[in-house]
Amino acid sequence: MRDEEIHQAVRILTEVVKGWVTPAVTIVATRDRDPFKVLVSCILSLRTRDQTTAEASARLFARADTPEKMTRLSVAQIEQLIYPVGFYRVKAEQILEISRQLCELYAGKVPDEIETLLRFKGVGRKTANLVLTLGFGKPGICVDIHVHRICNRWGYVSTKNPEQTETALRQKLPAEYWIIINDLLVTFGQNQCTPVSPRCSTCPVYRFCDRVAVTTSR
């Protein structure tokens, strides 16, 4: 994919993804614009299907939708509310500890700086960037495995891991697409540009794709 083709690809995908299910964390962010809910939902979403994330988030936030309210729950109560998300026991401890730190160190407010967010146990660059972009509307590029895989498959970048992809995209992706690229490519990656045997025969952006490392397709 040539640099100038990214504009056409984004325009096409923006329309196409409207027919697919929106990622759970994005739904939470769009509905509430609450950085704390985005942060917690993102933690819940790791290694978990979107439907499970959405249901667990709804149950948890019905009981505790602020850091202060979350600290009133026990780990066991949080576990029960978020089950069956992946690694629910570990995540329950992380959510409770983050809530305590937010109350004790940040007056119950989620920080809006990526380096500060990365200090919390269980928060990596993907989660920190999602909080910045979806929770605060600040510039950032969230790169998960879908964004990493698809941008390399397109030939738009040539990188070995998501962190390298984030760096590369910060250098060449037009700023107007920084916030939306994750939503577009997560949805596109789940429904069309799948990890194994992508649906190339019906791909709306096939003509822009270099199909790097694609050995089988449908």
Q: 198: cis peptide before it, omega within 30°?
A: no
Tokens coding 161: 């891991």
- Neighbouring residues of 64: CB distance < 8 A, sequence distance ≥ 6: 70, 72, 73
Amino acid in position 104: E
Q: Which of 34, 50, 144, 183 is catalytic?
A: 144
Side-chain half-sphere exposure of 124, counting CA atoms within 13 A = 11
State phi, psi for 39 to the nearest 5 degrees. -60, -50
Per the annotation, the verdict on 126 as an active-site residue is yes
Q: What whole-number distance in Å separates Cα of residue 193 and Cα of residue 69?
A: 40
Ramachandran sector of residue 113 (left: φ over 0; alpha: ψ -120 to 50; beta: rest)? beta
Q: What whole-number distance in Å separates Cα of residue 167 and Cα of residue 171?
A: 7
Per the annotation, the verdict on 3 as an active-site residue is no
Task: Extract long-range pairs of 199-207: CB within 8 Å, 24+ residues apart.
Answer: 204/12, 204/13, 204/16, 205/8, 205/9, 205/12, 205/13, 205/154
Residue count (the chain): 218
Q: Which of 126, 138, 160, 210 is catalytic?
A: 126
Active site residues: 126, 144
